[in-house]
Homo-oligomer: A and B are copies of this chain.
Amino acid sequence: MREPLPADMFDELCPSSLNPIRFGDKWAALIIRCLEHGPRRFSELRVPLSRVTPKVLTQSLRSLERDGLVRRTVHITAPPHVEYELTSLGRSLLEPLAAACAWADEHWDELLDARESHDNTVRLDHAG
């Protein structure tokens, strides 16, 4: 439930980060998957999402909060402590999101192959 998020969870070269089906903005789906197993703090999210600057991460989280998918809870302590967690609406998204990830897992290679052979064909066209 509360294992730390792996830093390479969304490694740039890993298919899990190359989600061809996207929800909301660029990072929304990744954030939701980070919250799948319970609430997370801002700095916890920054670990797997190290490519996202704090500003953009905040924007995405605010957008998710606005849409009722994520709940933001501020614990007034020193130092400040803020937690993000999925609402029930947000959790309901996990299902179609999983379907999208399953598709990517299953077909990503085909897509990359098609892309590569297409690019080669185009190059030949230009050469010929």
Contacts and interface: CB of A to CB of B under 8 A. Distances in A.
A70 B47 CA distance: 37
A99 B22 CA distance: 13
Interface string A58-102: 000000011111000000000000000000010011011101101
A20 interface: yes
A103 B93 contact: yes
A24 B20 CA distance: 6
Nearest to A101: B96
A27 to B, nearest CB: 13
Interface in A36-66: 65-66
A111 interface: yes
A114 B68 contact: yes
A119 interface: yes
- Listed residue (A21, A22, A106, A111) with the most chain B CB atoms within 10 angstroms of its CB: A21
Contact of A110 (B89, B97, B106, B111): B89
